[in-house]
Chains A and B, each alone.
Chain A
Amino acid sequence: MNKEEFLNKLRKKLDILEDKEIEDIISEYEGYIEEKVSRGLTEEEAVKELGDFNEIVNDLLAAYKVKQKDTNYIKKFINKISQGLDYILNELSNKSGKDILKFVIEIALIILIICIFKIPFLIVKDLGWNIFTSLSSPISNIFYGIWSFIIELSYFIMAIVLFIKIIEKRYFKNFSEKIVAEIDEEKEGKKEEKVKIKNEKKTEIGKETKEKSPKKLGIVEIITNICILFIKFIVLMILIGVIFYLVGMTFALGLGIYLLIKGVPYFGIFILLLALVLSGVLLLQLGIYFVFNKKIKASHTLIEVIIIVILSGFGLALSTVEIAETEIIYDSMIKETKTVSGEIKVDDNLVLYGKYNIIIDESLTDTIRVEYVYPDINDIEVEINLEHYNNGYYLDYTVSNLNWNKEIWNKVIDNLKAKKIYVDNFEIEKNVYMSTLTKEKLESNKSSQNNPSVLYEFTQTYHVANIEESNDYNYLYLTVRQFQFEEIATVKVLRSLASEVKEDENYEFTFQYEYPKVELTEGTIEEIFEKCHLISIEYTDKTGVIQTQESPVPEN
């Protein structure tokens, strides 16, 4: 390598330095080589005596760590990141599952904290918005844009710095020390050794103090701890739910064991139930361990999870078969019936409501016999209860003494053994005995009572655009507009109702109509005024919304 080659190569390698510095170094080395040449050496020999090229470059760069160009910062940054990634991967592969879980949870927490920190930034941003909009200048938008950009940027930077700081502090203490040490390595000589020793001492001291007073924490850690406490509180609340779940499930399991002993062949459901109880126990265990900072034995947990998965899979398959084999009968389990009966006097307006069977019995002239047939479950008693309703009766009943006892229970178990389930709706058969004449009378009464019309009342808000006299002194013409729908119509209104009405104001118009005699099909203003009875017009300051309320008018 001759002088020119050496200097060019050096220039290239030093490219990241400031141009002035490069020239300084180049001229210095040029000087060395020239001095050597003047003392009888060839250029090649002179270059050779300078030593290892890479070492020179490294030393030179190390000497300039303060005066590097921006590009070098980027390089350094990328370097740091790649080093960091290497370190993280190494650390992770050395850590157990629990540590990784902890790590993930804490990362999430840090993100949460950073999100919370957004709040003051938002407040400041809003403040800016208020100030800039109050200026009401056309460029206030631009100012606000710049303002919000600055705030967003500073939040972004703060978030990243905070994130890195926390992560570094919590996980990569060694890593940051490593970086520091590497930077120190660039400071050659004794100083480096000194710093290293100092660093070691520092970490030792740090470790000691950490062990002695673990409660001396920074704000970030305090916030983190508060968040962890909050999460623990939530987990505790969930645990209370889990406990209730477990109690219920344990009862169900007990019932299952009882049924199994009795010989009910539903093993699948039992196994499924067992799996559910176990999963509840596991959940409780994990929760308690988390809340009270106990160490979770990963192997135990894993075995439990595997057992639960196997049990629930097996149970699910088996119970599916069992359920498919089960016959569900929509009928009363008890075939024996009891009867209760009563009588009603027939009068001219009598109507009977409800669902019932009519049985003709011509022997009954002025009475109706009501008979209820119901399943005979133990001491059950059913009474006929005639509810008075619109000139007639509604056939109702009251049930008393419907008790479950061993007899029924045994029946249920016996049915289960035969894989039969009765879904009993407890239906009471209502039989009504009457003469043909009574039947006809009841029918005619019912039809006349049918569809009684109801008086409905509703209110609509209109804007009165124009008022005009009509030919008839008792009436006025109002031009009204409905909100939202730009519908306008001119309607005839009684002067007595509209005496207070002024133009360009809003009024609530209250209408009444009889349903089903009157039916509104289109809902237009004209239809409403035509078909309904306007009863009042009242001033309102509510605007912009359609005020429609509809309700039946109570009878007196």
Chain B
Amino acid sequence: MININTQFKKGVLELLILLMVKKSDMYGYELVEKVSKIVDVSEGTIYPILKRLTNEGYFETYTKESTEGPIRKYYHITTTGLKIMKDELKEWQKFSKNVNEFIERSTKNE
């Protein structure tokens, strides 16, 4: 029922989005463009993650008029967001390290 692959992707997506917004404040479309370059994900699903992270207080938003056209909503990471980002990053690094080591070992044995 639950596509583990998409769930997994979403978990990574959250981290990626946190990292990107930490680097500099961004508006939705910009984020979507950048993230979809790294991970193959349908663009429509990124906004809900932004919305959720905002609802949980990891991001705050402000609007800014753009030179090109419509008013844009920018996302800015909060201190809680930073904390979560650090935790998740640590976990991801540990996770990927374990997985990589395992893959290395199993491919060596072959």
Contact = CB atoms under 8 A, between A and B. Distances in A.
Instruction: Say what secondary structure dominates the interface of chain A.
Output: helix
Contacts of B48: 56, 59-60, 62-63
B52 A63 contact: yes
A188 B10 contact: yes
Interface string B50-71: 0110010000000000001110
Contacts of A35: 29
B43 A49 contact: yes
Contacts of B42: 49-52, 55
Contact of B44 (A50, A62, A191): A50
Contacts of B68: 38
A193 B88 CA distance: 13
B14 A188 contact: yes
B47 A32 contact: yes
Contact of A25 (B45, B51, B88): B51
B43 A63 contact: no
A32 B28 contact: yes
Interface residues of A, number: 30
A138 interface: no
B73 interface: yes
Given A32-B47, A50-B44, A185-B2, A66 B11 contact: no
B101 interface: no
B7 A192 contact: yes
Contacts of A32: 28-29, 32, 43, 47
Nearest to A58: B48
Contact of A188 (B11, B32, B44, B91): B11
A188 B29 contact: no
Interface residues of B, number: 30
A518 B33 CA distance: 119
B63 to A, nearest CB: 10
A414 interface: no
A514 B6 CA distance: 108
A25 B44 contact: no
Interface string B1-38: 01000110011111000000000000011001000000
Choose among A28, A55, A190, A191 the residue with the greatest number of B CB atoms under 10 Å from its CB: A190
Nearest to B41: A51
Contacts of A51: 41-45
Interface string A62-83: 1110110000000000000000
A190 B91 CA distance: 9
A60 B49 CA distance: 8
A53 to B, nearest CB: 8
B70 A28 contact: no
A417 to B, nearest CB: 80
Given A52-B42, A189-B14, A190-B11, A31 B52 contact: no
A267 interface: no
Interface in A183-222: 185, 188-193
A59 B70 CA distance: 25
Nearest to B2: A185
Contacts of B41: 51
24 contacts: A28-B28, A28-B73, A29-B44, A31-B28, A31-B72, A32-B29, A32-B32, A34-B70, A38-B69, A49-B42, A50-B43, A51-B41, A51-B42, A52-B44, A56-B48, A59-B48, A63-B52, A67-B55, A185-B2, A188-B10, A188-B14, A189-B12, A192-B7, A192-B11
Interface of A: 25, 28-29, 31-32, 34-36, 38, 49-53, 55-56, 59-60, 62-64, 66-67, 185, 188-193
- Among all A-B residue pairs, the 6 with the closest Cβ atoms: A51-B42, A50-B44, A189-B11, A63-B52, A59-B48, A51-B44
